[in-house]
Amino acid sequence: MSEQLHRMLARLANFESGAIGNQNDTRKQAPRIDLRARAIVSLIYLIIMLSVPINRLSELLIFAAFPIITAAQTGVRYGCIARQSLIALPFVAVIGVFNIFYNREPIFAIGGVIIAVGWIEFFSIIVRAMLSVQALLLLVRAEGYNALCRALRRLGLPSVFTTQLLMLYRYTSLLLEQLLSLVRARQARSFGRRALPVRDWGAVIGELTVRTVDRSERISQAMWARGFRGRMPDEQQVQRWQWRDTIYLTAWCLVLSVIRFTHPVERIVTLFNKL
């Protein structure tokens, strides 16, 4: 477990320093789209994609093009994003599985197997969730969580929210660090016993909270010592909105609207049936 935690911490560090191996080089060479434009497009994508009726699974699948194309644009490996998005799968599956039991109305049959609407809805929920997570991961992966928060602030989100988001992110890495040190300390003296007895969970959670609060207080002191006044500074070079950002935004809005309202998959299927 300590190795997994260590890897998670390293990934968090990599997210922000941009040290994502070769992906980073590709990203730097490509003309950068303003993160505000990316954020707006991602939001529009989520709204449009989630507005597809739940039983139209085929129509939903074409929306997978957005994360694939965005990944290619930003130089991030899509496979990596797809793999990371799987972390949400168990939670979504639990939510969606009830549709299988409640909605047993048959919709079509493959060979002798009758497929119920509930199954379509189940897969539809999973695809939506995966695509949503992928779109958000790509947004963060493009330039990092901090840059995203800065972009949101420049889009007019009150700084109290963006500061909270940034703090939440930092607090996550603090929590992981403290958890890592606790796990290592336990492993060093557990003599091969893997599971933590349930009776010790409370003590561990309490210790973790105390350690994390203590550490965050010291960090807070360091911040105040360097002139922090309750708002994270924005020292980065501010990228100006350019024509390519407008074109990017307009193009994606058009494409997504066309996909949503002209039902291209349905048309293609109808065309094939006619042939």
CB of 231 to other proteins, least distance (A): 9
Measured CA to CA, the distance from residue 206 to residue 36 in angstroms comes to 40
Task: Decide whether 33 or 166 has the Cβ nearer to other proteins.
Answer: 166
Task: Decide whether 51 or 237 has the Cβ nearer to other proteins.
Answer: 237
Of 108, 110, 131, residue with least CA distance to 55: 108
CB of 214 to other proteins, least distance (A): 10
CB of 79 to other proteins, least distance (A): 24
Q: What are the beta bridge partners of residue 114? A: 109
Pairing of strands 106-110, 113-116: antiparallel
Task: Decide whether 12 or 46 has the Cβ nearer to other proteins.
Answer: 12
Count of other CB atoms within 10 angstroms of residue 48:
19
Q: CB of 246 within 8 A of CB of 33?
A: no
Task: Decide whether 13 or 205 has the Cβ nearer to other proteins.
Answer: 13
Task: Decide whether 69 or 208 has the Cβ nearer to other proteins.
Answer: 208
Rg (C-alpha) for the chain, rounded Å, is: 23
Q: Cα-flanking dihedrals φ and ψ of residue 194, to 5°?
A: -85, -55
Task: Decide whether 104 or 231 has the Cβ nearer to other proteins.
Answer: 231
CB of 103 to other proteins, least distance (A): 46
Q: CB of 148 within 8 A of CB of 39?
A: yes
What spatial distance separates the first Cα and last Cα of the chain, rounded to whole Å? 56
The footprint of other proteins (CB under 8 A) covers 9-10, 12-19, 144-146, 170, 173, 215, 218-219, 221-229, 233-237
Measured CA to CA, the distance from residue 165 to residue 174 in angstroms comes to 14
CB of 173 to other proteins, least distance (A): 8
CB of 249 to other proteins, least distance (A): 27
